[in-house]
Amino acid sequence: MIPRRLLSGALPVATAFAVGLLLLLSVDAPPFEAIQLIFKGALGSLGGVSSTLMAWVPLVLAAAGLVVTFAAGLWNIGIEGQIVMGAIAGAFVARTVEAPSGVVLPLLLLAGIAGGLLWGLLVGVLRVYGRVNEIFGGLGLDFVATGLVVYLVIGPWKRAGSASTSGTDLFPREAWLPVTGKLTASWLALVVAAAAVVAVYFLMRGTYFGLRLRAVGANSRSAFLMGISTNRHLLAAFSICGALAGLGGALHASGFHHKLVPSVSGGYGFLGILVVLLAGFGARWIAPIAFFFAVISVGSTQLQLRLQLDSALGGVLQGVLVLFTLLAGGWQLRRAYRSRRGLKEGG
């Protein structure tokens, strides 16, 4: 007999898959061919696998950071800007530091961490001391970061002889992340991302900080009365999330684009929110879920090339999956509440 827990988890996925098929049929697209094209585009060649893995890196780092802020009861919508600022800080090191890779790359990654951390901390300062809701503060800083990267790309850091939104000149080779063999995905980026996910998992489950942070997220007033410094923990959550997001931006700029481009964030911050929602706000499943989302993001470009469908359809499929998972979770919570209420009334 199928366990109830497994069935409850598979039901929303199956429902979302069925709705996705209906969406494809509604636009006169062969559904199974479209799905095959997505997976073939993402995993059918070394180039596709490399692109998918390098898309997974900033996505899973953003999701790992969001696990921390969600635990504190915060919606860090500003994570897109934190990715961008990490990429800008990393690009600054790549463009100005003339040294061997062993010196440039650590400095580049540290700069990315610092850039994202400071931008995330700014959202926290606005939230704690300015009483600005983190959603509005984060969105505002997203626009600032986006404007800054465009200004740098077409202004002070423009390509030699032209001002193009396609990006800056390529970084020096010393600032490129190392790769192995024919796979252009950087093993260093993959190792750093995996280590960050493991670190966040143990931070939230095996430390007093994680316990206190969850207490702040559950009820900040009660946590304060228990002697927990709520402001300090909120600022720490924003700092950790920003640092991981900035690291993702620096890795993506150096390991995938090899330059600074205006679209360096790639929507990975917002997509990371969907990953964490689907993972139940925990770090355990964010790595495989982020990989699945990266497959759809990279492979959906084939829909436009082969079937003349907008590649945004992949994002629609991701959103449908998250929507039905949340609806299923809400339905289960409602059933549990009614069951407990019935037992109390019966008692």
Q: How many other β-carbons are positioned within 10 Å of the β-carbon of residue 223?
A: 20
CA gap 217, 212 in Å, rounded: 9
* Contact (Cβ atoms closer than 8 angstroms) between residue 79 and residue 247: no
- The answer to whether residue 321 sits within a structural domain is no
| Residues whose CB falls within 8 Å of the CB of residue 106, separated by 6 or more in sequence, listed in order | none
| Burial grade of 139 (CB within 10 A; 0-12, 13-18, 19 or more) | middle
Q: Which residues have a Cβ under 8 Å from the Cβ of 256 and sit 6 or more positions away?
A: 51, 54, 55
List, for residues 332-345, the tens digit of each pLDDT value.
Answer: 667 666 666 665 55
In a domain, residue 264? The reply is yes
Instruction: State the CATH number of the domain containing residue 126.
Output: 1.10.3470
d(CA 66, CA 82): 12
- Work out the average pLDDT over 223-238: 89
Q: Which residues have CB under 8 Å from 158's CB, separation 6+? A: 164, 168
Going by C-beta distance under 8 Å and a sequence separation of 6 or more, which residues neighbour residue 41?
Answer: 48, 298, 299, 300, 301, 302
**Would you say residue 283 lies in a domain?**
yes
Structure tokens at 231: 């402001």
Q: Which two tokens stand for residue 317?
A: 């499929």
Q: CB under 8 Å to 149, separation ≥6 — which residues?
A: 84, 87, 88, 260, 262, 264
pLDDT, residue 277, reads 86
Would you state the structure tokens that stand for residue 233, as one six-digit string?
A: 């923990």
CB 254 within 8 A of CB 175: yes
Domain count, the chain: 1
pLDDT tens readout for residues 260-285: 999 898 889 988 998 998 888 889 89
**Spatial contact of 63 and 286, defined as CB atoms under 8 Å apart:** yes
Q: 180 in helix, strand or coil?
A: strand
Question: Based on the number of CB atoms within 10 Å of its own CB, is 244 exposed (0-12), middle (13-18) or buried (19 or more)?
Answer: buried
Mean pLDDT of 27-42: 81
Residue 341 lies in a domain: no
First-to-last C-alpha distance (Å) of the chain = 32
Structure tokens at 102: 């062993």
Residue 198 lies in a domain: yes
Query: How confident is the model over 227-243, as a mean pLDDT?
Result: 93
The whole-angstrom separation of Cα 309 and Cα 60 is 27
Segments forming the whole domain that contains residue 169: 38-299
Kindly state the average pLDDT of the residues 278-299: 90
Give the model's pLDDT for residue 340: 62
Q: What is the DSSP letter of 45?
A: S
In a domain, 10, yes or no: no
Per-residue model confidence as pLDDT tens digits over 89-127: 999 999 999 999 999 999 999 999 999 999 999 999 999
The answer on pLDDT for 64 being more than 80 is yes
pLDDT in tens, 128-162: 999 999 999 999 999 999 999 999 999 899 887 77
Question: How many whole angstroms from its chain centre is CA 118?
Answer: 18
- C-beta neighbour count of 123 within 10 angstroms: 32
Overall average pLDDT of the 70-77 stretch: 92
Residue 307 covered by a domain:
no
Per the structure block, which two tokens stand in for 73? 């009861």
For residue 328, is it within any domain? no
Task: Report the C-alpha gap between 63 and 280 in whole angstroms.
Answer: 12
**What pLDDT, on a 0 to 100 scale, did the predictor assign at position 201?**
94
- Secondary structure class of 185 (helix, strand, coil): strand
- Cβ(289)–Cβ(279) below 8 Å: yes
Is the pTM value of this prediction over 0.75? Answer: yes
